[in-house]
């Protein structure tokens, strides 16, 4: 299988059909309906995107507008889109699709008016598409192919470059206020590739294909990463080797004093820059882990170097021993309660990369080579950690996992597990969905795979609709204890039909396993359901390759196994709970009281 984030566009074009046959033959693909509304011909872009989505486990189904009809199909003639029922709509436009550029002699006021006029047209598009209840992805704009005013094109009120940059800012501000709108940064993508490699004028004049094949591939890679993130498939952990990866030299041979890190030489500065990049990823929510063939005490000593940017405390898991690295990666996964498919592994040694790739194919192993100055570039190009939002929990994730280590240490001091739970001094905030939490709620539905009874995925738009539905009960759960705030870590979503509440969603972050949070959630759910006159809760377990840990979840909470109705998936089970006989189960968590909605 080709590495789609490293291979050349020519290789993909040459092997596209055979790759498509191979990828579509795999089992368990998740259907995804994607509409592409284009200002130019989009067939090549869609072909690339199809392969990338197939490689990620999606079975994409596409709808494409006719050439240049992105506005008409969205605003004036949307029936084809309505019938298609897209989950994602991508509006693919370019600087050539701008309706009216400012005249060269424009004043500042005229420039602002042109920006607002163009923005108003796109608002019409977004308003229309958002009525479909789907996620909308709109690209911003590359710079124009020709700077008519030279350097002044970016300065003068009548410069096309100035206009497009201000329009891009307006798009960003608009997206900040629209939960269903994401902006794809075409401005940045085209800058990385270079405008000389972006536009393909011979193909445009002949076939209305505006961009080069290389540019269309980069757009598809970017889109694939955004869709991956929407459906919880972004990576979560950066696993790092040490010697000649985080510092120059072999610490076991050279000692702390002689490893290369700091500002004194070009090589040392390159390692320092890579550590700064890793720390920046940690600070935005990516977990860091170490997987090194080393003596643990020697390996840890490297982070005591006065020039080391990273410190031992920055790592959520640290494995330095002489075991095979793929086995240590599995141990890291167990310790963090995450799948290895959420890992990116960086090692300067090609033999170690090859072994991990062969033994654990779901781990992302970029071919970083052995030049540390390029490591960050390879990680960045892979778009492994692409976010579509940045919540408070993302920014604090590393600290949350650090708190778990303290909790594990605390547990060893108690012979009785109940005493240990009481010692944590836990407090839960459990209430109906609130607008301030919806982004995190949607994010959690797409990231949680193990403690997830149905593994149904929701976009933010779909979760907003569910929160407004009067027939649903949606509850979130936050948990704090003496070691800190665990954040929003549990969600239940039930749909009322008659006197029965059917559970569409029940999930929890694995970092709060065995803390009785599920019992506390059920207590509140039962109370809210009875307040609405409901008599029975019906829960469903839909098995996947990852959620076997909750196969007996409903049984442990006192539900009774019921005959599976027609149409329930193979292996799925249905469970019922009589609310009339229900008594409170949580005994170790203080639950904050909220008025019923």
| Secondary structure (H, E, C), 362-414 | CCECCCCCCCHHHHHHHHHHHCCCCCCCCCHHHHCHHHHHHHHHHHHHHHCCC
3-state secondary structure string across 428-485: EEEEECCHHHHHHHHHHHHHCCCCECCCCCCCHHHHHHHHHCCCEEEEEEEEEECCEE
pLDDT at position 267 is 95
Instruction: Tally Cβ neighbours within 10 Å of residue 100.
Output: 11
Question: How high does pLDDT run on average in the chain?
Answer: 91
In our burial notation (b when 16+ CB lie closer than 10 A, e otherwise), range 442-474 reads: bbbbbbbbbbbbbbbbbbbbbbbebbeeeebbb
Measured CA to CA in angstroms, residue 315 lies from 272, 278, 551 at distances of 17, 11, 32
User: How many Å apart are CA 162 and CA 159, to the nearest integer?
Assistant: 5
pLDDT at position 337 is 83
Token pair 């709620």 is at which residue? 441
Query: Do 9-230 and 237-382 show the same overall fold?
Result: yes
Report the candidate in 11, 74, 80 with the shortest Cα–Cα distance to residue 48: 11
Measured CA to CA in angstroms, residue 441 lies from 68, 84, 464 at distances of 37, 27, 10
Report the candidate in 397, 403, 450, 424 with the shortest Cα–Cα distance to residue 515: 424
Grouping H, G, I as helix, E, B as strand and the rest as coil, residue 343 is: strand
Domain 9-230: top CATH class: alpha beta
Contacts for 114 with CB less than 8 Å, ≥ 6 apart: 100, 101, 102, 106, 163
User: How many Å apart are CA 397 and CA 320, to the nearest integer?
Assistant: 23
Please determine, looking at this structure, whether the domain spanning 237-382 carries the CATH number 3.40.50.1000. yes
User: How many Å apart are CA 58 and CA 347, to the nearest integer?
Assistant: 29
User: How many Å apart are CA 229 and CA 56, to the nearest integer?
Assistant: 11
pLDDT at position 65 is 94
Instruction: Tally Cβ neighbours within 10 Å of residue 323.
Output: 12
User: How many Å apart are CA 557 and CA 410, to the nearest integer?
Assistant: 26
Residue 183 pairs in a beta bridge with 138
Report the candidate in 100, 103, 130 with the shortest Cα–Cα distance to residue 117: 100
pLDDT at position 571 is 86
pLDDT at position 401 is 64
User: How many Å apart are CA 224 and CA 424, to the nearest integer?
Assistant: 42
Residue 566: HSE in the Cβ half-sphere, 13 Å Cα cutoff = 0
Token pair 């605003």 is at which residue? 75
Contacts for 280 with CB less than 8 Å, ≥ 6 apart: none
Strands (DSSP E) found in 225-313: 237-240, 287-293
**How many DSSP H helices and E strands does the chain contain?**
22, 17
User: Across the beta sheet with 573-578, what order do the strands follow?
Assistant: 560-562, 573-578, 536-541, 500-508, 484-497, 472-481, 426-432, 589-591
Strands (DSSP E) found in 189-236: none
Task: State which residues of the chain have pLDDT below 50.
Answer: none
Q: How does pLDDT run across 370-413, given as a tens digit for each residue? A: 999 999 999 999 999 998 876 666 666 666 666 555 555 555 56
Structure tokens at 274: 């890579």
* pTM assigned to the model: 0.79
Measured CA to CA in angstroms, residue 404 lies from 165, 238, 336, 337, 453 at distances of 45, 18, 9, 11, 23
Domain 413-591: top CATH class: alpha beta
Asked if 33 and 81 touch (Cβ cutoff 8 Å), the reply is: no
Contacts for 257 with CB less than 8 Å, ≥ 6 apart: none
Report the candidate in 521, 497, 486 with the shortest Cα–Cα distance to residue 507: 521
pLDDT at position 596 is 62
Contacts for 225 with CB less than 8 Å, ≥ 6 apart: 234, 383, 386
Each domain of the chain, given as residue ranges in start order, spans 9-230, 237-382, 413-591
């Amino acid at each position: 299988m080709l590495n789609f984030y490293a291979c050349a566009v020519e290789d993909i074009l040459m092997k596209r059909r055979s790759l498509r046959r191979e990828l579509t033959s795999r089992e368990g693909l998740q259907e995804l309906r994607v509409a592409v509304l284009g200002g130019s011909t989009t067939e090549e872009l869609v072909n690339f995107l199809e392969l990338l989505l197939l490689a990620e486990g999606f079975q994409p189904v596409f709808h494409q507008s006719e050439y240049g009809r992105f506005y008409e199909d969205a605003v004036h003639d949307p029936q084809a889109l309505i019938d298609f029922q897209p989950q994602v709509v991508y509006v693919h436009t370019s600087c050539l699709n701008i309706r009216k550029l400012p005249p060269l002699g424009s004043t500042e006021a005229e420039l602002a008016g042109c920006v607002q006029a163009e923005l108003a047209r796109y608002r019409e598009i977004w308003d229309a598409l958002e009525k479909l209840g789907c996620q909308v992805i709109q690209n911003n704009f590359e710079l124009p192919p020709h700077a008519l005013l030279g350097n002044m094109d970016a300065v003068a009120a009548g410069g096309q470059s100035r206009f497009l940059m201000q329009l891009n800012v307006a798009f960003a501000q608009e997206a900040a206020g629209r939960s269903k709108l994401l902006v794809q940064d075409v401005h940045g993508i085209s800058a990385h590739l270079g405008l000389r490699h972006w536009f393909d004028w011979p193909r445009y004049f002949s076939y209305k294909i505006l961009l080069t094949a290389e540019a269309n591939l980069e757009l598809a890679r970017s889109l694939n990463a955004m869709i991956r993130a929407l459906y919880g498939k972004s990576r979560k952990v950066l696993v790092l080797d040490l010697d000649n990866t985080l510092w120059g030299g072999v610490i076991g041979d050279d000692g702390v004093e002689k490893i290369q890190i700091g500002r004194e030489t070009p090589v040392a500065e390159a390692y320092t820059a890579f550590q700064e990049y890793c720390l920046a990823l940690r600070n935005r929510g990516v977990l860091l882990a170490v997987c090194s063939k080393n003596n643990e005490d020697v390996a840890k000593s490297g982070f005591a170097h006065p020039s080391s940017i990273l410190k031992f405390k920055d790592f959520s898991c640290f494995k330095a021993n002489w075991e095979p690295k793929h086995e240590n990666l599995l141990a890291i996964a167990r310790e963090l309660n995450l799948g290895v498919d959420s890992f990116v592994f960086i090692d300067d040694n090609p033999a170690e990369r090859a072994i991990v790739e062969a033994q654990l194919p779901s781990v992302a192993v970029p071919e970083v080579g052995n030049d540390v100055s390029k490591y960050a570039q390879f990680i960045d190009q892979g778009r492994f950690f692409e976010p579509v939002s940045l919540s408070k929990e993302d920014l604090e994730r590393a600290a949350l996992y650090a708190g778990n280590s303290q909790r594990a240490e605390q547990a060893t001091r108690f012979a009785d597990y109940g005493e240990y739970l009481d010692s944590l001094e836990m407090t839960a905030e459990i209430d109906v969905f609130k607008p301030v939490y919806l982004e995190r709620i949607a994010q959690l539905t797409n990231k949680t795979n193990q403690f997830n009874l149905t593994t149904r995925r929701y976009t933010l738009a779909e979760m907003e609709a569910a929160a407004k539905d009067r027939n649903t009960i949606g509850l979130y759960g936050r948990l704090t204890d003496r070691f800190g705030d665990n954040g929003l870590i549990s969600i239940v979503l039930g749909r009322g039909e008659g006197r029965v509440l059917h559970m569409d969603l029940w999930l929890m972050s694995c970092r709060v396993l065995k803390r009785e949070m599920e019992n506390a959630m059920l207590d509140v759910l039962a109370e809210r359901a009875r307040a609405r006159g409901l008599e029975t809760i019906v829960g469903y377990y839909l098995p996947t390759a990852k959620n076997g840990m909750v196969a007996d979840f409903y049984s442990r909470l006192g539900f009774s196994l019921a005959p599976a109705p027609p149409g329930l998936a193979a292996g799925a089970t249905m469970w019922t709970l009589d609310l009339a006989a229900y008594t409170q189960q949580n005994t170790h968590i203080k639950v904050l009281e909220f008025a019923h909605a």
